[in-house]
Amino acid sequence: MPEVLNKRALGRAMLERQLLLRRSDVRVAAAIEQVLGLNAQSPNLPYLALWNRIAGFAAGDLTEAIEDGTVLRSTMMRATQHVLTAADFYRFRPALAPLLRRVQRNAFGRRTRDVDLDSLVAEARELLADGRVLTRPELGRLLAEGRSGADPSALGWTVQYLEPVIHPAPSGTWDVYGPTPFARADGARRPVTLADTRQLVRRYLAAFGPASVADARAWSGVAGLQEVFDQLRPELRTYADESGRELFDLPDAPRPSGDAPAPVRFLPEFDAPLLAYADRTRVMTDDVRRQVCVGAGVAATVLVDGTVAATWSVLRNDDDAPVLSVQPFRPLSASDRRDVEAEARGLLAFLHPDVTRHDVRLGEPAG
């Protein structure tokens, strides 16, 4: 019979691998590689994620890595924006190509049904040749010029899904919003191999295991993973969770005790631990999940003792000073409240380094 791992043991394993049991003294690229990418649907999210994970992290550390190309921003897991190291982007973008084709077909198939997609992508590649950078709206308008009745927005989005493109700086850097720029990423334009998908599964387990096949599918959006796990089974360890689901892991991956201390952490919206599993009960109860994951949104959350205990947001008071508001889901002990307030003040100092007046509002659970 396989060893049974309870929720606390699974949660501590995830926190260790996601650099959330302690801040690590590592460089930005090493941290992003360890956690296998950071959600970047909004430009500031990766910065907040790294503040939780790297000791002494400064915003300029990530900005420099994006500007020099060590870290790239593109549409990746679950067809959403992520930042990954350049090596991981080129390694894993082919494995995600079938997912991205499926997303294009589901989201824009009707609006591009009269478009020759191969011709569209070839023309887009020409428009982006020789290092040219165009925003998605600019590219869509140029592609629509020779296609009567075509929808420029749908054409731009279609290229984003069907052609490997990256979004170069200043896109994706701190507080930089606006139209998404496209640049070619030719090295990622190759057929997917079984070795690519096997390596993606291994790296997923290194960053999030122990986990099930359904968990890996939920994190990646990639179909057909059961066969890949079956092929890898001889080199993996197997466990079971308390519900009897089969879990897989790398043999030498860290699995700390469920009693290991877990500090307070302020995760940004869409942070990976909240999205990396089909069964997310290792990090939040189903009731909390229904309040955190609403529609396509995933709230910014506070981890206390390794699980989601609250949501957080930054507001402005009547004097326009920043206020970090925390809304708990469950009662917090006096020591937990002190730890939450202390971590909140550290986050405010990171978010507003030039502001001397700010405050923390820690509420009580509803009901």
Compute the chain's Rg from CA coordinates: 21
- pLDDT the model gives residue 318: 64
Task: Give the CA angle between residues 85, 88, 92 to the nearest 5°.
Answer: 145
The beta-carbon contacts of 123-126 under 8 Å, at least 24 apart in sequence, are: 124/159, 124/163, 125/163, 125/184
Helix (H, G, I), strand (E, B) or coil at 195: helix
Low-confidence ranges of the chain (pLDDT < 70): 318, 367
> 């205990």: which residue's tokens?
309
Give the global pTM: 0.95
- pLDDT the model gives residue 237: 98
Model pLDDT for residues 303-320, shown as the tens digit of each residue = 999 999 999 999 877 677
Tokens of 166: 């990256």
- Strand segments, DSSP code E, in the chain are 3-5, 38-39, 71-75, 81-85, 134-135, 165-166, 181-184, 237-241, 246-249, 265-267, 293-294, 297-298, 301-304, 307-316, 322-328, 359-362
Model pLDDT for residues 208-253, shown as the tens digit of each residue = 999 999 999 999 999 999 999 999 999 999 999 999 999 999 999 9
Whole-angstrom CA distances from 310 to 11, 49, 281, 307, 313 are 17, 17, 15, 9, 10
Query: How many Å apart are CA 96 and CA 161, to the nearest integer?
Result: 10
For 64, the enclosing helix (H) or strand (E) is: helix 59-67
Q: Which residues contact 336 (CB under 8 A, 6 or more apart)?
A: 264, 304, 305, 309
Query: How many Å apart are CA 105 and CA 115, to the nearest integer?
Result: 12
- pLDDT the model gives residue 87: 97
Instruction: Name the DSSP letter for residue 252.
Output: T
CB 8 within 8 A of CB 277: no
- pLDDT the model gives residue 354: 84
Query: How many Å apart are CA 71 and CA 322, to the nearest integer?
Result: 30
Instruction: Name the DSSP letter for residue 341.
Output: H
- pLDDT the model gives residue 103: 97
Per this entry, what is the length of the chain? 367
- pLDDT the model gives residue 357: 79
Tokens of 89: 């982007």
